[in-house]
Structure 1
Amino acid sequence: MKMLILTNCFLFFLLMLVLVLGYVSYPGVRLEIQDKHIVMDNGIVQVTLSNPGGSVTGIQYNGIDNLLEVQNMEFDRGYWDVVWSEAGKNGTKGTLDRLEATNFTVIVQNEEQLELSFTRTWLPSLEGKIPPLSIDKRFIMLRGSSGFYTYAIYEHLKGWPAFNLDNTRIAFKLRKDKFHYMVVADNRQRFMPLPDDRVEGRGQVLAYPEAVLLVDPVEPEFKGEVDDKYQYSCESRNNRVHGWICMDLSVGFWQITPSYEFRSAGPLKQYITSHVGPTILSVFHSTHYTGADLVMKFRAAEEWKKVYGPIFIYLNALSNGESPATLWEDANQQTVYEIERWPYAFPASQDFPSSYQRGKVKGRLLVQDRYVTDGCVPAGGAYVGLAATGDAGSWQREYKGYQFWTITDDKGYFTITDIRAGQYNLYSWVNGFIGDYRCDNVINITSGCEVDVGELVYEPPRDGPTLWEIGIPDRTAAEFCIPDPNPKYINRLYVKHPDRYRQYGLWERYAELYPNEDLVYTIGTSDYKKDWFFAQVNRKIDNNTYQETTWRINFKLDGVNTNGTYKLRLALASVHSAELQVRVNDSEANPPLFTSGVIGKENTIARHGIHGLYWLFSIDVQGTLLVQGNNTFFLKQPRNISPFQGILYDYIRLEGPSSLTSNI
């Protein structure tokens, strides 16, 4: 036994020696400061930045002089940017600012690490010209690392002007002569068209500038396809790694985001990833799939600071004989490694707290719905998170702070680690149940704290027994009927793909499937997977004319409690500039039983999403409005200016009065 222990210790020592010697064999990190450029070099990767602007002008790797597009101006290769507007402006279209810095500082310089800072401070003389923010862009290179890290600190000081911020991100534009294969996920990867294919003559712009039909592409294989960057969007919770592969030289260029704590609007928020360019993005805040609700609005007296990142730009290459797929597999392994190291210990800014400076929350979540089960049941597979204090569900519209999420185990237990100090509410949603949960107690996180919230019970909205239901309460419209695309507008990646909804132009298929009369759904006969179109959109009459639509839900009641109140639950997965009117047994009733008013600016339908923001409406239906026998709910969307005005339903349920115990 003693000999076995000594042998194992010796083997462990040899392994550690190999790792240490391998690490030491990498040269130290070097810094070269030139008149107009600054170069970071660790012997594996060489990164060139503009001085003092802080744009990435060149990335040298694996014998390639520059992975970035050399035909672009230097400021248009790798850069941080924001879209902003002055206070009082409506909408989501602002002014682009590349956040060019005015000062350069070396923060850390030794053989193991470089950290560089590029700053810009707002001055009153710049009012109206640039956003009133103090900007600190950081770049980090570590010894032996096949890539580099970047993060930024934004700050708005008291007394600075009010303003709006629509979008912020970091972008890299790669060489179009080298990077042709794009990867967003295991089942979302393909050879991509060239940017040249989108120009007039080779491409035909469709309903909006982002969507282009390739009519005469450089490579004939892409002829007849639609290219649209929104087809490659991704939920924040899954947006960990994506990028491009240069097949000829077997090189991969990847953006790795080990945490989404700094992104706006929680785990379900959708962000653009990579797209034709070849372009690779890390978006931290945007109004896509949410609209004006996520325009960041700052008051003149407001003090605010936020750290975006760090993210890791990872580069890899193949050895002879390896498959290009290995690059993607390796990028995924590297992502796991980066996630395990989060929060990083090496950033020098005091605004980025290390793990020991953060806190932890644990507990258990149960669900109690007396019409589904007796007593409380574990909320297995539920999302539980901390976000800024607010109402239940407010996390999906929150953008100035940080959010920390996890998933419960099958018994409902959860632990959320590495939470920044601050005050939070705890939120949750549970698939299979409608609504949002919020713990009423404010949770105060301090450095090194551990908070046990005990057992929490979510009681989802419920007044009576389920008489009937349509769909699955999961915050998406994915379970409904997704039509085949028009053969003229195909993205071949999504043919026979689980994400059928990502094809262009599906909104026009409604008029083809229902040319004269609108959708009619009969409870007990219809199948929502086949008979409920995924989006209630307008019917196209001609190129400039659209007709409002009214959907009908027919159902039969064996008996009616005329003294009771029934409840219609309408959970919506997304809305865009639409109004939902509900009538019962009278399609012309004025006023309707319910109207949402015009809500939503999410543009989910046009952007090939299956959900945007979550909406829940609970409507009282007096028993006197119903009859024994056949009944009908009329769901009308009367706004008909655009093809993209519409509603994506998540789930619909009719509940009987609380005293009613029998189903239909």
Structure 2
Amino acid sequence: MRGLLLGGWAFAASLATAQRGPFLEQIDDTTWVVGNDLWNLTQGAFYATKLFHRGQDLVGSAVGHYVGYDGEDNLQWLSASIAAEGDNFIDVSFFAELGDFHWVIFDDLPGAYQYFVNRALPDISILRSLWRLAPEIFLNGRTHLKNEALPDFALYANATNVQDETWQLEDGTFITKYDWSNAVRDRDFYGVYGPEFGSWYIHPTFEYYNSDQLSQTLTVHRESSTGDSVQLNVVQDTSHFRVGQTTAQPEGKTWGPWLWYLNSGSIADAAERRVEELAGWPYEWFNNTSYHSRGGVSGYLQLSDGRPAAGAAVYLGDTDTTIRPSIQGSNYYYTTYADDTGAFSFDDVRTGSYGLYAWSNGGEIGDVYTNVTTSPVTITRAATTQLGELKWDVPSGAQRIFQVGEFDKKALGFTHGGPPYQHGVADLSPANLTFVDGESENSDWYYAQSAIGKWTIEFDLAAEEVTGYKTALLSVSLAGYSQSAALDIDVNGQVLATLSKDTLVSDPALYRSGKTNGEWRFFQYPISSSMLSAGVNTVGFTVTRYTQWRGFMWDSIILDWE
């Protein structure tokens, strides 16, 4: 293990033959070579290229590796040094004015652990590292949702660009990088591979990712302008699938370490490596005091009607509960789900103060639209904070008239709702639809409403109900909204409200292949019993403004007598 300044140019290919273990070598003021006996790369001021592994350059004519925030190659490396070392590894730090990117290189590891430490980043929405690799070597992409060949670069030549990185082919189908997206906290591992080589990202924890269980972002794709095989590592993202907002980043905040792993292209081997990484996390070799200062928290969620909050989504986020979980991104974040008894626990949480949030994830409590928030929750080193029973208030005395869709902030259960990601599916929803309470199923509703027309829910009321209650409450839960669609909500033809770009800020999920969720929105409207009558009644949703691939993504519609 060593770091040297070479007097002249050293070819990275020849360095691979020297049996010397992990190394850093400086070629000139803006060029370095790092690696070990199994691989090495040449790092320039912005890009890392000449990635040699088993005698093959895996970058070739592609762009290579870079790190950037809210853009492309905007972190410039000014120097490099060995920040730490052990008996069998070195930690190489590349210095930029805004922060340091590290490659932790072990003797016999084909790849490296990577992490980024903030020094002076501005408020950001995106932070990422990525590889753009040789397309003739890396033919396929793999995520936990999708495993197939990347689109042939030749397809783009005669395709029409219909929006950012989305192309329509002559047969009317689409290719887009957004079809490879997924929910961050559902991932196992992902990467690009071919018959001889694979390049993978394995994250043993999601604590340095922003947001809650609904967070989603990009993974791999074909670069439409060059054909490069792209392997993205987006560790901060508050814009691609939600209402965008930048977040402040404290000095010293660390994203990672994660593992960038090279192999023969074997998915099974990458899966086995992930198991090893999970077993070894938190990493003992990582020399960071706050990283190793960890504790736990546990508790039990009980609904006020006596039911356990079975399967509830539980999230440790910011103590400032006025910030939406979907855009929280300054700290570290943890997610889990309650068991059938409402019990939950978090282990290996960084010490500090958090806000605890819980909401229905469908299932046994899919009828519950309220939530729980408590703050602060303090995590202390080597201890488990016992929260005991947390009371979750649900409306008392309410009588359910009807419900369409389970409340889970997602479009699951509806036609076309849920994976896979696919562009343009909103166009398959009907313009007009009638849902009859007591006869129709959730699957008769569609995940998205887009075309100009009216969707109607029909429901029966008994005379004694209309005379026995003064008001009803209509709860409308949207899994997402993409402008510029507009929607009138009516009861028996009387318009209650209009949802449009004038009242909602757009999220891009629906037109970026999202079929599960974007940014959640929730509205409630009181209805006088005078607006209702004995017999058949209707709640209507009329689209009055249409923009292709945009519209309203549905979660749940609930009508209760109060």
- TM tier, smaller: 0.7 to 0.9
User: In the aligned structure 1, how far is the partner of 2:555 from the partner of 2:212?
Assistant: 19
2:100 is aligned with 1:145:
no
1:366 aligned residue (298, 302, 317): 302
> Conserved in 2, the CA contact under 8 Å of 1:54 and 1:118?
no
The one-letter code sitting in structure 2 at the alignment partner of 1:521 is: F
The one-letter code sitting in structure 2 at the alignment partner of 1:227 is: I
Superposition map of 1:629-640 within 5 A: 629-640=535-546
Change (3 A) 1:259 1:580: farther
> Conserved in 1, the CA contact under 8 Å of 2:511 and 2:550?
no
User: In the aligned structure 1, how far is the partner of 2:457 from the partner of 2:478?
Assistant: 16
Superposition map of 1:225-264 within 5 A: 225-247=173-195, 249=196, 251-264=197-210
Change (3 A) 1:478 1:567: same
Q: Which residue of 2 aligns with 1:168?
A: 127
How far residue 38 of structure 1 moved from its aligned partner, in angstroms, is: 2.5
2:68 is aligned with 1:81:
yes
SS of the residue aligned with 1:561? Answer: helix
In the TM superposition, what whole-angstrom CA distance separates every residue of 1:326-371 from its partner, at most 9, and x where no partner exists? Answer: x112212211221222222223355x512xx112112222334x3x
Change (3 A) 1:282 1:77: same
2:80 is aligned with 1:99:
no
> Conserved in 2, the CA contact under 8 Å of 1:381 and 1:409?
yes
2:40 is aligned with 1:46:
yes
> Conserved in 2, the CA contact under 8 Å of 1:232 and 1:274?
yes
2:333 aligned residue (396, 403, 406): 403
User: In the aligned structure 1, how far is the partner of 2:490 from the partner of 2:398?
Assistant: 21
> Conserved in 1, the CA contact under 8 Å of 2:245 and 2:327?
no
Number of aligned residue pairs: give it.
529
Change (3 A) 1:626 1:638: same
2:522 is aligned with 1:583:
no
Superposition map of 1:466-485 within 5 A: 466-482=400-416
User: In the aligned structure 1, how far is the partner of 2:414 from the partner of 2:307?
Assistant: 30
Change (3 A) 1:593 1:565: farther
Q: TM-score by structure 2 length? A: 0.87
2:379 is aligned with 1:453:
no
1:353 aligned residue (279, 291, 294): 291
Q: Which residue of 2 aligns with 1:536?
A: 449
Q: Which residue of 2 aligns with 1:507?
A: 426
2:179 is aligned with 1:204:
no
How far residue 224 of structure 1 moved from its aligned partner, in angstroms, is: 6.8
How far residue 426 of structure 1 moved from its aligned partner, in angstroms, is: 1.1
User: In the aligned structure 2, how far is the partner of 1:230 from the partner of 1:213?
Assistant: 14
How far residue 244 of structure 1 moved from its aligned partner, in angstroms, is: 1.5
User: In the aligned structure 1, how far is the partner of 2:61 from the partner of 2:109?
Assistant: 28
User: In the aligned structure 1, how far is the partner of 2:253 from the partner of 2:55?
Assistant: 37
Superposition map of 1:327-338 within 5 A: 327-338=266-277
Deviates more, 1:228-237 or 1:277-286: 277-286
The one-letter code sitting in structure 1 at the alignment partner of 2:377 is: I
In the TM superposition, what whole-angstrom CA distance separates every residue of 1:618-646 from its partner, at most 9, and x where no partner exists? Answer: 22111111111121112234443x22431
How far residue 191 of structure 1 moved from its aligned partner, in angstroms, is: 1.6
Change (3 A) 1:78 1:202: same
2:439 is aligned with 1:522:
no
Q: TM-score by structure 1 length? A: 0.74
Q: Which residue of 1 aligns with 2:27?
A: 34
Change (3 A) 1:305 1:196: farther
How far residue 609 of structure 1 moved from its aligned partner, in angstroms, is: 1.0
Q: Which residue of 2 aligns with 1:189?
A: 147
How far residue 556 of structure 1 moved from its aligned partner, in angstroms, is: 1.5
User: In the aligned structure 2, how far is the partner of 1:147 from the partner of 1:471?
Assistant: 45
User: In the aligned structure 2, how far is the partner of 1:146 from the partner of 1:554?
Assistant: 61
How far residue 111 of structure 1 moved from its aligned partner, in angstroms, is: 4.6
User: In the aligned structure 1, how far is the partner of 2:179 from the partner of 2:280?
Assistant: 31
User: In the aligned structure 1, how far is the partner of 2:323 from the partner of 2:288?
Assistant: 32
User: In the aligned structure 2, how far is the partner of 1:645 from the partner of 1:340?
Assistant: 43
How far residue 529 of structure 1 moved from its aligned partner, in angstroms, is: 0.8
In the TM superposition, what whole-angstrom CA distance separates every residue of 1:440-469 from its partner, at most 9, and x where no partner exists? Answer: 341122333421111223234565121111
> Conserved in 1, the CA contact under 8 Å of 2:125 and 2:236?
yes
The one-letter code sitting in structure 1 at the alignment partner of 2:140 is: Y
User: In the aligned structure 2, how far is the partner of 1:524 from the partner of 1:193?
Assistant: 45
Q: Which residue of 1 aligns with 2:88?
A: 112
Q: Which residue of 2 aligns with 1:341?
A: 280
User: In the aligned structure 1, how far is the partner of 2:120 from the partner of 2:394?
Assistant: 39
Structure 1 residues not aligned, in runs of 5+ = 1-25, 84-94, 122-133, 158-162, 216-222, 318-323, 484-497, 540-548, 658-664
Larger radius of gyration: 1
How far residue 196 of structure 1 moved from its aligned partner, in angstroms, is: 4.3
User: In the aligned structure 1, how far is the partner of 2:86 from the partner of 2:422?
Assistant: 50
1:309 aligned residue (245, 251, 256): 256
Change (3 A) 1:55 1:460: farther
SS of the residue aligned with 1:230? Answer: helix
2:462 is aligned with 1:558:
yes
Change (3 A) 1:551 1:49: same
2:237 aligned residue (286, 293, 300): 286
The one-letter code sitting in structure 2 at the alignment partner of 1:445 is: I
In the TM superposition, what whole-angstrom CA distance separates every residue of 1:153-182 from its partner, at most 9, and x where no partner exists? Answer: 12348xxxxx65232211101111111121
User: In the aligned structure 1, how far is the partner of 2:66 from the partner of 2:134?
Assistant: 15
Superposition map of 1:585-604 within 5 A: 585-587=492-494, 589=495, 592=496, 598-604=503-509
SS of the residue aligned with 2:504? Answer: strand
Q: Which residue of 2 aligns with 1:435?
A: 369
> Conserved in 1, the CA contact under 8 Å of 2:177 and 2:221?
yes
Deviates more, 1:259-268 or 1:392-401: 392-401
Change (3 A) 1:384 1:527: closer
How far residue 288 of structure 1 moved from its aligned partner, in angstroms, is: 4.2
User: In the aligned structure 1, how far is the partner of 2:370 from the partner of 2:53?
Assistant: 48
Change (3 A) 1:338 1:45: same
Change (3 A) 1:208 1:263: same
> Conserved in 2, the CA contact under 8 Å of 1:294 and 1:398?
no
In the TM superposition, what whole-angstrom CA distance separates every residue of 1:550-601 from its partner, at most 9, and x where no partner exists? Answer: 32222111121365211112121111235544221125x4xx3575752132
Change (3 A) 1:359 1:44: same
> Conserved in 2, the CA contact under 8 Å of 1:538 and 1:645?
no
In the TM superposition, what whole-angstrom CA distance separates every residue of 1:103-162 from its partner, at most 9, and x where no partner exists? Answer: 2222124551111112222xxxxxxxxxxxx211111111222210111112348xxxxx
User: In the aligned structure 2, how far is the partner of 1:623 from the partner of 1:563?
Assistant: 7
Q: Which residue of 2 aligns with 1:154?
A: 118
The one-letter code sitting in structure 2 at the alignment partner of 1:274 is: V
SS of the residue aligned with 2:505? Answer: strand
What percent identity do the matched residue pairs reach?
24
How far residue 27 of structure 1 moved from its aligned partner, in angstroms, is: 6.2
Structure 2 residues not aligned, in runs of 5+ = 1-18, 223-227
The one-letter code sitting in structure 2 at the alignment partner of 1:314 is: Y
1:609 aligned residue (514, 529, 538): 514
Q: Which residue of 1 aligns with 2:218?
A: 272
> Conserved in 1, the CA contact under 8 Å of 2:247 and 2:328?
no
SS of the residue aligned with 1:119? Answer: strand
User: In the aligned structure 2, how far is the partner of 1:413 from the partner of 1:393?
Assistant: 26
SS of the residue aligned with 1:599? Answer: coil
Change (3 A) 1:519 1:119: same
Q: Which residue of 2 aligns with 1:488?
A: none
Q: Which residue of 1 aligns with 2:398?
A: 464
2:301 is aligned with 1:376:
no
